[in-house]
Chain A
Amino acid sequence: MRNCMYFKLAAINIKKNAKMYIPYIITSIITIMMFYIMIFLTHNPGLVGMKGEHSLRTVLVMGIYVIGIFSVIFLFYTNSFLLKRRKNEIGLYNILGMEKKHIARMLTIENIYTYLINMILGLFFGILFSRLMLLLLFKILKAGTGFVFNISMQGLYMSFIFFTAISVLILLNNIRQIHLSKPVELLKGGNVGEKEPKTKWLLAVIGIITMGTGYYLAITVDNAISALNNFFIAVILVIIGTYCIFTAFSIAFLKILRKNKKYYYKAKHFTSVSGMIYRMKQNAVGLANICILSTMVLVMISSTVCLYIGQDDVLKNRFPTNIEIQTIFANEEKAKAVSKTVNQKILESGYEIDAYNEFRFKTYSLEFDNKNHVFHHSNDISLSLDKMYITYMFPIESYNINTGSDIILNDNEVVIYSPDDIDLSDKFNINDKTFYVKNIVENPNFSIQNNGSYMKLIYIFVSNEEVIKDIHKDFVEYFGEYCDLSYLIGFDVKEPEEKQIELMYSIRDELRNTDEYKNLSFIMYATAEEKLDFYAIYGGLFFLGLFLGALFMMATVLIIYYKQISEGYEDKHRFHIMQQVGMSKHEIRKSIRSQVLTVFFLPLVTAIVHILFAFKMITKMLEVLNLTNVSLFIICTIATVIIFAIFYVIVYSLTARTYYKIVE
């Protein structure tokens, strides 16, 4: 009988606080659902044996971790909000004669109710939508239809354990808080924080310094390696800066405004400035959260979308021809033999070939000393990345064959091609050997990745292979003793992709099974095959970006919603007093609107500023992923920001309605 009462009471409490509980429950359900789906995808048997399975799985596992960590933080945050708003009610129960253990029992039952709803519906929707997500993933990966749909026991099991643990921790935390507090404190619980906030100058200064340093790191970055190295530091600094600026700097700034009597004692500013001081105190952390989440959503979606859209470009750069066969360190004789074998196989297949090219080369990553015009080995690539050149050296013969020219060079003469700017003047050195530039030529269209790398590129054609071997002698210490050149054959096949792959395999088998080539090592690929691995990474990241973007977006919406509600309850009282003192409804509404708008759009504006500063750094980082199309990234970023802003405004107008309903 007595227990029955607790169950009833718990149910009534949830129903009565529906305005706050429903968003919480929906969030939990979605979080559990997403967690399950992520595990489901990671362990889907359909991925087994797929090309790029490993890379994709790495990306998806990363997603599981992010969602996991995020759920803990986020569920604790929303729960603390719920508890804060309900302290008043709990205090009342306490005063009416419920002991704390009774309250604890009531809370436990409430938590069990919400837990059951969350878990059952979360897993149900997880199973329901997992199929859709799988289809979406395969669509993004441009993979076939070989997926398997099942219910992932592992997913159910892990989600169950994980979210049960979180629920228990949350419940324990709630009970602890109730036990620690006195009834009177509970009664006033909803109203704490009415004191005038202190100005924390130290925090304000720290905020400006960390934010400034973070921004400085972001805009002074000039190459991919330092971007990668500093990105994490910059992010941490900007996050700290954001928190400090929202919590401390904003209040310091408003107080300075308040000190300015002429400004402050104007009907327009009077209520807004003082109101803002309190709003900032109560919402600063929430606003900083919104700001950081928004920034993450924007960065994640814009860069993954950009990668995904740009992936075909990148692919073209990375794999210039359909099929490529590289023979490592082969002397001229062997190279000729390989060429013969390959051409024999092509002929046998009867396929039409395009863009055929073959050449012998050696390649080094060298640092170019601009002042002395010297190429030399670099001791620390990351420090001198902007001076680094991927240097290809060819005998001029390769150039002549592929372009049909007949250039003849002396041993100390070279012909140069570079898509990047380089100031070689008339002569330059490679170590202490001097070369004279005879000619600068157009792109000979070799199957070499000619952009999309974070290093610059230069081709140096010399009179014959002996010159290259001679140069190599100076590099033995760094690049090994093999002085033979490598040999590359690249060509397109005007046939469907399966046939391209087939041809590549037949050539491979032939080369491997010929005794003559036993001591040679080959690198070969068919783009048609490689690109699946490629799609797995880029598509996987894109999928993860969308997935996590949706999750963070939901979090943003929920924080905004809770913020509006809690502000609404506080403003209600203020609204009433101001009316009595002689402010018209219209004036009050105007003042409140301007405050709410400021508070609301501050995070968005700050997030956009963050993006602007981060832009250069992210472009540099995308270079590592072979994406150099900056204008594409600009378009993606702008589009993401616009869509996000529209979404933000919609959320605002929906939650504002709830807010005004409470206030009036």
Chain B
Amino acid sequence: MLLDVKNLKKIYTTRFGGHNVQALTNVTFSVEEGEFIAIMGESGSGKTTLLNIIAALDKPTSGEVFLKDKSLIGISEKEISAFRRDNLGFVFQDFNLLDTFSVKDNILLPLVLSGHTYEEMKNSLNTVVEKLGISDLLEKFPYEISGGQKQRTAIARAIITNPKLLLADEPTGALDSKATESLLKLFKKINEDGQTVFMVTHSVKAASHASRILFLRDGAVFHQIYRGSSSNEEMYQKISDTLTVIATGGGFNA
């Protein structure tokens, strides 16, 4: 078991007055090594909150998160950054590349922070950029490259540390359909190489590449779909159906 999420609950208190908003009511699930998980749900269903808690950027009100049997909840503020750096990779909708760094330096950032030597970095870098097909872009700066290229750079940055878990938040949200397609293939390829991927998405298309899809509604896991031997097209159909059910207010038993 790579990731184990147990009874997560998160309540936000608004800044003025004691009005409470319950983002997560009770979330429990687990992820095996090598899985490609997609989380779906409407706006406000708690997807981002869940991701933030798993990324140790936010703390739950109650409940537990274990990554490889290590609890993320009790981890101290001092260790948390190093932990995040060594165990988690992040990919965001708006790429979050630093415009002060070249593509190469953006990718190397986590390694530099961990104190690797330049020789080590160069080896890791070559492997990653070849895999992502961005070898020609290394000396360019973020403002010089396309959205798809930026997202590849962001993925390279996320996986260069060989994280246990790759977290992706709407990775295709800012891309056109062509770039989306090639990016999803890339995710699939990375996943097939053994990387566990945990992706939050709105896009049925993106989710249809996953090996398992969790649906969140009102702060709880409402339903899940396993790929089994289904093709992408069949998955697409299943997801659409499920979303229709959610939207029309029907019920499944998760």
Q: Chain A contacts of B80 at CB under 8 A?
A: 584
Q: A196-B141, A265-B121, A267-B112 are in contact. Are A274 and B81 (CB under 8 A)?
A: no
Q: A265-B121, A270-B112 are in contact. Are A580 and B57 (CB under 8 A)?
A: yes
Q: Could you list 7 examples of A-B contacts with CB < 8 Å?
A: A195-B141, A261-B118, A265-B121, A277-B100, A577-B98, A580-B90, A584-B82
Interface residues of A in 566-588 (CB under 8 A from B): 574, 576-587
In the complex, what distance in Å separates the CA atom of A278 from the CA atom of B108?
19
Cβ of A583 and Cβ of B81 under 8 Å apart? yes
Asked whether any CB of chain B lies closer than 8 Å to the CB of A275, the reply is yes
Interface residues of B in 195-238 (CB under 8 A from A): none
Q: Chain B contacts of A277 at CB under 8 A?
A: 100
Q: Which of B100, B101, B102, B113 contacts A582 (CB 8 A)?
A: B113
In the complex, what distance in Å separates the CA atom of A278 from the CA atom of B77?
30
Q: Chain B contacts of A278 at CB under 8 A?
A: 99-100
Cβ of B113 and Cβ of A267 under 8 Å apart? yes
Cβ of A195 and Cβ of B90 under 8 Å apart? no
Top 10 A-B pairs, shortest CB-CB distance: A582-B85, A584-B81, A274-B100, A577-B96, A270-B112, A582-B84, A265-B118, A194-B99, A278-B100, A261-B118
Instruction: Determine how close the nearest CB of chain A comes to the CB of B154; give it in whole angstroms.
Output: 10
Instruction: Determine how close the nearest CB of chain A comes to the CB of B199; give it in whole angstroms.
Output: 16
In the complex, what distance in Å separates the CA atom of A597 from the CA atom of B115?
24
Asked whether any CB of chain B lies closer than 8 Å to the CB of A262, the reply is yes
In the complex, what distance in Å separates the CA atom of A275 from the CA atom of B100?
6
In the complex, what distance in Å separates the CA atom of A585 from the CA atom of B81?
8
Asked whether any CB of chain B lies closer than 8 Å to the CB of A371, the reply is no
Interface residues of A in 184-198 (CB under 8 A from B): 194-196
Q: Chain B contacts of A583 at CB under 8 A?
A: 81, 85, 113
In the complex, what distance in Å separates the CA atom of A194 from the CA atom of B108?
20
User: Can you add 13 more A-B contacts, CB < 8 Å, to A278-B100, A577-B98, A581-B96?
Assistant: A194-B143, A261-B118, A270-B113, A274-B98, A274-B105, A576-B96, A577-B96, A581-B157, A582-B81, A582-B82, A582-B85, A583-B113, A587-B81
Interface residues of B in 78-115 (CB under 8 A from A): 78, 80-82, 84-85, 88, 90, 92, 96-102, 105, 108-110, 112-115
Instruction: Determine how close the nearest CB of chain B comes to the CB of A417; give it in whole angstroms.
Output: 70
Asked whether any CB of chain B lies closer than 8 Å to the CB of A266, the reply is yes
State the B residues within 8 Å of A (CB): 55, 57, 77-78, 80-82, 84-85, 88, 90, 92, 96-102, 105, 108-110, 112-115, 118, 121, 141, 143, 157
Q: Chain A contacts of B92 at CB under 8 A?
A: 580
Q: How many A-B residue pairs have CB under 8 A?
A: 70
B158: nearest chain-A partner, CB-CB:
A581
A577: nearest chain-B partner, CB-CB:
B96
In the complex, what distance in Å separates the CA atom of A584 from the CA atom of B85?
10
Q: A265-B112, A267-B115, A574-B98 are in contact. Are A581 and B90 (CB under 8 A)?
A: yes
A266: nearest chain-B partner, CB-CB:
B112
Cβ of A581 and Cβ of B110 under 8 Å apart? yes
Q: At the interface, is chain B mostly helix, strand, loop or mixed? A: helix
Instruction: Determine how close the nearest CB of chain A comes to the CB of B114; give it in whole angstroms.
Output: 8
Instruction: Determine how close the nearest CB of chain B comes to the CB of A273; give it in whole angstroms.
Output: 9
Q: Which of A194, A195, A262, A576 contacts B118 (CB 8 A)?
A: A262
Q: Residue among B84, B96, B99, B108 with the most chain A CB within 10 A?
A: B99
Cβ of B96 and Cβ of A580 under 8 Å apart? yes
A275: nearest chain-B partner, CB-CB:
B100
Number of A residues, CB within 8 Å of B = 26
In the complex, what distance in Å separates the CA atom of A270 from the CA atom of B82?
17
In the complex, what distance in Å separates the CA atom of A63 from the CA atom of B173?
61
Q: Chain A contacts of B98 at CB under 8 A?
A: 274, 574, 577-578
A587: nearest chain-B partner, CB-CB:
B81
Cβ of A584 and Cβ of B108 under 8 Å apart? no
In the complex, what distance in Å separates the CA atom of A277 from the CA atom of B55?
31
Q: Chain A contacts of B82 at CB under 8 A?
A: 582, 584
In the complex, what distance in Å separates the CA atom of A582 from the CA atom of B113?
8
Q: Chain B contacts of A196 at CB under 8 A?
A: 102, 141
As a 0/1 sequence over residues 167 to 199 of chain A, the CB contacts with chain B under 8 angstroms (1 = contact) are 000000000000000000000000000111000
Instruction: Determine how close the nearest CB of chain A comes to the CB of B168; give it in whole angstroms.
Output: 12
In the complex, what distance in Å separates the CA atom of A108 from the CA atom of B149?
44
Q: Chain B contacts of A574 at CB under 8 A?
A: 98, 100
Cβ of B141 and Cβ of A581 under 8 Å apart? no
As a 0/1 sequence over residues 309 to 322 of chain A, the CB contacts with chain B under 8 angstroms (1 = contact) are 00000000000000
Cβ of B141 and Cβ of A582 under 8 Å apart? no
Cβ of B113 and Cβ of A581 under 8 Å apart? yes
Q: Chain B contacts of A262 at CB under 8 A?
A: 118
In the complex, what distance in Å separates the CA atom of A261 from the CA atom of B117?
10
In the complex, what distance in Å separates the CA atom of A576 from the CA atom of B57?
11
Q: Chain A contacts of B84 at CB under 8 A?
A: 582
In the complex, what distance in Å separates the CA atom of A581 from the CA atom of B143?
19
In the complex, what distance in Å separates the CA atom of A577 from the CA atom of B141?
16
Q: Which of A195, A265, A586 contacts B108 (CB 8 A)?
A: A265
Cβ of A582 and Cβ of B105 under 8 Å apart? no
Q: Residue among A574, A577, A581, A585 with the most chain B CB within 10 A?
A: A581
Q: Chain A contacts of B105 at CB under 8 A?
A: 270, 274
Interface residues of A in 530-576 (CB under 8 A from B): 574, 576
In the complex, what distance in Å separates the CA atom of A578 from the CA atom of B113?
10
Q: Chain B contacts of A577 at CB under 8 A?
A: 96-98
Interface residues of A in 120-179 (CB under 8 A from B): none
In the complex, what distance in Å separates the CA atom of A195 from the CA atom of B57?
30
Instruction: Determine how close the nearest CB of chain B comes to the CB of A583; give it in whole angstroms.
Output: 6
Q: Chain A contacts of B157 at CB under 8 A?
A: 581
Instruction: Determine how close the nearest CB of chain B comes to the CB of A579; give it in whole angstroms.
Output: 8
In the complex, what distance in Å separates the CA atom of A29 from the CA atom of B78?
48
Q: Chain A contacts of B141 at CB under 8 A?
A: 195-196
Q: Chain B contacts of A585 at CB under 8 A?
A: 81
Q: Chain B contacts of A581 at CB under 8 A?
A: 85, 90, 96, 109-110, 113, 157
